[in-house]
Amino acid sequence: MSARPRGTDTARVIQVIETTSLRGTGDNESDKCRIVRQYWSMQGELLAEDDPCKDNKNK
């Protein structure tokens, strides 16, 4: 008998602020121009960042 994935236990809609900004100079491979998305709480706390040039293990 194999284990089956449980799936999602709960889900809810919450209010956050999503910002997008251009980051990087584009001068070389280590500083490419890209769009970075950040997610903020209504109290101004950074919750998550999606930067395509970084390892996003904490998404």
| pLDDT tens, position by position, 1-56 | 677 788 898 999 999 999 999 999 999 988 899 999 999 999 999 999 999 998 75
- Tell me the CA distances in angstroms from 7 to 1, 13, 48, one per residue in order: 18, 18, 22
Question: CA-to-CA distance for 43 and 51, rounded, in angstroms?
Answer: 22
Residue 36 counted as domain residue: yes
Residue 2 counted as domain residue: no
Give the pLDDT score at 57.
52
Contact 22, 33 (CB under 8 A): yes
Residue 57 counted as domain residue: no
Residue 25 counted as domain residue: yes
Give the pLDDT score at 12.
94
Contact 39, 47 (CB under 8 A): yes
Look up the pTM and report it.
0.69
CA 46, distance to chain mean position in Å, is 10
